[in-house]
A and B are shown apart, each in its own frame.
Chain A
């Protein structure tokens, strides 16, 4: 069985997604237990696969025994293995949180929720695992369609926001598919490794430039990279908390992974990839500044976090664009940092709204006393987003800054410094209200701490932020540096 782990990681959540709605009708508890079991399997299996590829190198798995380039192959290297662990870890945390939340708000739909949730996870894991451009498109759409349904569960406003996301998201994935078509026309193959080999014989052409342009724009829409982020703030604001906590953390990061995979592995070192990276660098600087500035202007905490994500995606693509080993380490580490910390922040913000009915920044006054543990986790995550030691965020920003300095990318350096300042302002504004400002009327009110089922995942995510910061050195030498493309390191 262990020989088939790469495919099982994708197939087990998929099969569970089919079983869960049948169980959910009468026995929601069993349905959720199956969901968690599937996610735990995905996490453990991803961990095992990652441990193996870190030692033995790339693991190529041929689906159904059909040899590539005719058959589809899954390719797990330290990069995709690391992403698998990250995605399944976040999925498990948010799914645990979802149980308590749904039990209190909408117990009748636990089965359906879990089914869609597992489909979303299947899609994201598939994107990461596959070594085939068209297969990536299929998984992109599986995850997107499941996400549309999940996000729309947040109510009326969420439905309107999701419809807009569906239109824009489909434009994005259609662009990606069209770009894939260009590369198929140029080389006659869809397998990534085969494509790399054949492209070297094709040489520069306008068709290649158009193809890469379409793929990058399509994935940038999916990743909500400024200026393609228009769909994102409304969707993140109105979606149910356990969905935002996972989608905001994992989905855009997986799209960023796809950009990285295409530009550095499939087309690594080609002049068109280099120009695409220059474009992303410019876009990244703008995203960092615009996202941080807009986050500062928000009064709703969820919308503030959403715009902060726009800025953070800018950090990641800026790191890709600089392209030196240290900048890439920073960018990948920032993927990790932002995914874990933003998930924690959104889950706490959603929990506060659920417990108190409020989500404005002003309503956080005195929350440090009413929800002490949740707010502690929130504080850790916020400090990591600002980038203070010893959290993981300090190290990811440090490596990015170092990379930008070395490359003499002054606009990037300026954007990183300015946005760190701005994020300190907008996060400490919240933390000040939470812990420092006291309101006499609130002293008498009872504790509103989250139930254990929701508090647990939040605390685990915050602890992960501290542990990742503490053990960043071994993590970088053993996993992240091996995840870099051979052309760079």
Chain B
């Protein structure tokens, strides 16, 4: 418990990386005019969350969480926390499904309106 809180407070490269990706993603969703670019920005945002969780599980000097010799008791500090990885596997599946649905919507928009540019699309919707 205490170690976990400490991990969060030592701002390492990964946390900064996650924060940077988060901001890039948000900026892209808001500022980009092309819908496909907006979607890519959304994916970057999701990657930011994944990086954040993976960074939580990291420990310096630890190895993969496969216990070979259980006899001497398990030294928790020697293994990387596997739970965030498992959670992020689910998050990746969610991200892929969302992207799939989004791409299907974009194909329909493109077929109907002939464009994926937000400005051109808004003009056509006003007609």
Q: Which residues of A contact B (CB under 8 A)?
A: 134, 137-138, 141, 144-145, 148-149, 152, 156-157, 159-160, 162-163, 166-167, 170-171, 174, 177-178, 181-182, 184-188, 198, 201-202, 205, 207
Contact between B5 and A185 (Cβ–Cβ < 8 Å)? yes
Q: Nearest 7 A-B pairs (CB), nearest first?
A: A185-B8, A141-B94, A163-B105, A156-B112, A159-B108, A148-B101, A188-B4
**Cβ distance B55 to chain A, nearest Cβ, rounded Å:** 9
Contact between A148 and B4 (Cβ–Cβ < 8 Å)? no
Known: A145-B97, A148-B105, A157-B125. A181 touches B56 (CB 8 A): yes
Q: Which residues of B contact A (CB under 8 A)?
A: 1, 4-5, 7-9, 22, 26, 29, 35, 38-39, 42, 45-46, 48-49, 52-53, 56, 84, 87, 90-91, 94, 97-98, 101-102, 104-106, 108-109, 112-113, 121, 125
Could you say which residues of chain B place their CB within 8 Å of the CB of A207? 5, 8-9
Contact between B105 and A170 (Cβ–Cβ < 8 Å)? no
Could you say which residues of chain B place their CB within 8 Å of the CB of A185? 4-5, 7-8, 56
Contact between A174 and B101 (Cβ–Cβ < 8 Å)? no
Contact between B101 and A167 (Cβ–Cβ < 8 Å)? no
**Cβ distance A250 to chain B, nearest Cβ, rounded Å:** 20
Contact between B8 and A159 (Cβ–Cβ < 8 Å)? no
Contact of B105 among A138, A166, A202 (CB under 8 A): A166
Docked complex Cα distance between A178 and B91 (Å):
11
Known: A134-B87, A145-B97. A160 touches B125 (CB 8 A): yes
Chain A residues touching B, majority SS: helix
Point out which of A138, A166, A185, A202 has the most chain B C-beta atoms below 10 A from its C-beta.
Answer: A185
Contact of A162 among B7, B45, B46, B105 (CB under 8 A): B105
Contact between B1 and A167 (Cβ–Cβ < 8 Å)? no
Contact between B49 and A174 (Cβ–Cβ < 8 Å)? yes
**Smallest CB gap from A173: residue in B:** B94
Contact between B106 and A163 (Cβ–Cβ < 8 Å)? yes
Docked complex Cα distance between A159 and B105 (Å):
6
Contact between B112 and A181 (Cβ–Cβ < 8 Å)? no
Contact between B56 and A178 (Cβ–Cβ < 8 Å)? no
Of the A-B pairs whose beta carbons lie under 8 Å apart in the complex, a sample of 26, sorted by A's number, is A134-B90, A141-B97, A141-B98, A145-B98, A145-B101, A148-B102, A149-B101, A152-B108, A167-B102, A170-B45, A170-B98, A171-B26, A174-B46, A174-B48, A174-B49, A177-B91, A178-B49, A181-B49, A181-B52, A181-B53, A181-B84, A186-B5, A186-B8, A187-B1, A202-B5, A205-B5
Could you say which residues of chain A place their CB within 8 Å of the CB of B4? 184-188
Contact between B56 and A184 (Cβ–Cβ < 8 Å)? yes
**Smallest CB gap from A147: residue in B:** B101
Could you say which residues of chain B place their CB within 8 Å of the CB of A170? 42, 45-46, 98
**Cβ distance A474 to chain B, nearest Cβ, rounded Å:** 41
**Smallest CB gap from B2: residue in A:** A202
Contact of A152 among B26, B97, B105 (CB under 8 A): B105
Docked complex Cα distance between A149 and B29 (Å):
20
**Smallest CB gap from B8: residue in A:** A185
Docked complex Cα distance between A167 and B42 (Å):
7
**Cβ distance B2 to chain A, nearest Cβ, rounded Å:** 9
**Cβ distance A207 to chain B, nearest Cβ, rounded Å:** 5
Contact between B97 and A138 (Cβ–Cβ < 8 Å)? no
**Smallest CB gap from A160: residue in B:** B109
Contact between B109 and A167 (Cβ–Cβ < 8 Å)? no
**Smallest CB gap from B35: residue in A:** A163
Contact between A160 and B121 (Cβ–Cβ < 8 Å)? yes
Docked complex Cα distance between A170 and B42 (Å):
7
**Smallest CB gap from A70: residue in B:** B83
Contact between A182 and B8 (Cβ–Cβ < 8 Å)? yes
Could you say which residues of chain A place their CB within 8 Å of the CB of B98? 141, 144-145, 148, 166, 170
Known: A163-B102, A167-B39. A174 touches B45 (CB 8 A): yes
Could you say which residues of chain A place their CB within 8 Å of the CB of B39? 167
Contact of A171 among B42, B87, B113, B125 (CB under 8 A): B42
Docked complex Cα distance between A141 and B99 (Å):
12
Could you say which residues of chain B place their CB within 8 Å of the CB of A171? 26, 29, 42, 45
**Cβ distance B1 to chain A, nearest Cβ, rounded Å:** 6
Docked complex Cα distance between A240 and B17 (Å):
42
**Smallest CB gap from B107: residue in A:** A159
Contact between B101 and A166 (Cβ–Cβ < 8 Å)? yes
**Cβ distance A73 to chain B, nearest Cβ, rounded Å:** 16
Could you say which residues of chain A place their CB within 8 Å of the CB of B90? 134, 138
Could you say which residues of chain B place their CB within 8 Å of the CB of A144? 98
Contact between A188 and B1 (Cβ–Cβ < 8 Å)? yes
